[in-house]
Chains A and B, each alone.
Chain A
Amino acid sequence: MNSSQAKEILLLYRPGTADAADPQMVEALESARRDPELGRWFEQHRAFQKAMRAKFQDIQVPAHLKSSLLIQGAAPPNLVAPRTWWHPRVLLVAVAAVLLLLGLAAVWLRPSVPDRFANYQARMVSEAQREYTMDLVTNDMRQVRQFVARHDAPANYYVPRGLERLQLTGGGRLTWRSNPVTMVCFDRGDKQMLFLFVMKRSAVKDPPPATPQVSKVSQMLTASWTRGDNTYLLAGPEEPDFVHKYL
């Protein structure tokens, strides 16, 4: 084990814990005893760790937290025995759930009709806010276009100059009322994402005008516009000059 390898292992050493029993750690500690330079580094690192640990222990817990928690848990349901599937109430709930699913399926499977842009906008924003998966993780826009084209989503979309300057992180294909939607994701540069959604204008009966319309939807800022056959919806965290910066 050379000095550099020993350092990497010793970096994870926490005084007074079981770390010292780890065979690799034992070897690294031995290296630190033999190598004066490494030993000095290790002593300094140990002191750093001790000081940092103390800072974390210094975090003050709000006085009201405990009482809030106790009020919340006044009746602990952890002592209630779990119900089995044949329990009459569970069966009743299961039947109700099946009926509800049948009802929902009937709604979902009805023929698609043009709908309001606002509904589409709200749905896409919620898509961006909740857990989603990019079908394709790439920095190459051509790959995104090829992917969405293969899945019948708009591939001839226009990317505004402001967005072109950002790093592309990937994209995917979503669906709104049976209409394919292209999603393109950009890294804004500060661990925040911007989402461009593109859908055929014919999918809504009130497509937005050609000039971008800015509105706030569920804590996100959106800009929506129509260009050619497509409607565009850009969604991202609130920030000044949203339109000028990205469109």
Chain B
Amino acid sequence: MAARSSYKEDQPRGELDFQGLVDLHYGLLYRFAMSLTRTESDACDLVQQTFLTWATKGHQLEDPSKVKSWLYTTLHRAFLESRRRFTRFPHLEITEATAELPSVEPDLVTRLDAQEVLQLLGQVDEQFQAAVALFYLEDYSYNEIATILGIPLGTVKSRIARGLAQLKELVLRKTSSRGKAQTGGA
């Protein structure tokens, strides 16, 4: 995993060139941004802002192997900054995910396209979304996800579990409502 996810760790510091970073990470960062915003223009803005931050503050990063998680953290912070104004709610302590999880046939998922999956993710409780997106997009360990999101490990696991449970429920609802619509139309 490390070889794939980290910028060439044995590369000298001076060779942390901008184009190399863009080549390696812009696609993954965009997918993460899309998972958070679900709008192409907003996602592009977030990615641009992230690389702009790198261009101005990247020199402060001592450890080149942490470039990727630094970029993810920066993007996530930029997203939170843009959303914070309307979403300051008292956060309740997250309890363990319930074991009452809906059972979802995998072929139901294959009937959805990526955009529909993102829309469903958008209906998941907002505080779970980033953790779920990182869970699916990357092979990051839970510790790494905790570092990126700046939350404790237990909270990461709890958020992913709660988010997945909600996502499964939403997939079920979406596919069953579509099935009903098709039956009704026939």
Residues on A close to B: CB < 8 A?
4-5, 7-8, 11-12, 14, 16-18, 41, 44, 47-53, 55-62, 65-66, 68-70, 72-73, 76-82, 128-134, 137, 169-170, 185, 187, 191-193, 237
* Complex-state Cα separation, A192 to B58, whole angstroms: 34
Q: Are A73 and B88 in contact (CB under 8 A)?
A: no
5 contacts between A and B (CB under 8 A): A12-B157, A57-B137, A131-B81, A187-B89, A193-B87
Q: Are A70 and B19 in contact (CB under 8 A)?
A: yes
* Complex-state Cα separation, A142 to B141, whole angstroms: 46
Residues of A within 8 A of B16 (CB): 78
Residues of B within 8 A of A237 (CB): 86
Please give me the residue from chain A that is nearest to B156 by CB atom.
Answer: A12
Given A44-B104, A78-B59, A187-B89, A56–B1 Cβ distance below 8 Å? no
Q: Are A58 and B161 in contact (CB under 8 A)?
A: no
Residues on B close to A: CB < 8 A?
1, 14, 16-19, 22-23, 26-27, 30-31, 34-35, 40, 44, 47-48, 51-52, 54-56, 58-60, 81, 84-90, 96-97, 99, 101, 103-107, 109-110, 112-114, 117-118, 126, 133, 135-137, 139, 141-142, 157, 160-161, 164-165, 167-168
* Complex-state Cα separation, A73 to B52, whole angstroms: 7
* Complex-state Cα separation, A4 to B167, whole angstroms: 19
Among candidates B31, B141, B160, residue contacting A18 with C-beta atoms closer than 8 Å: B141
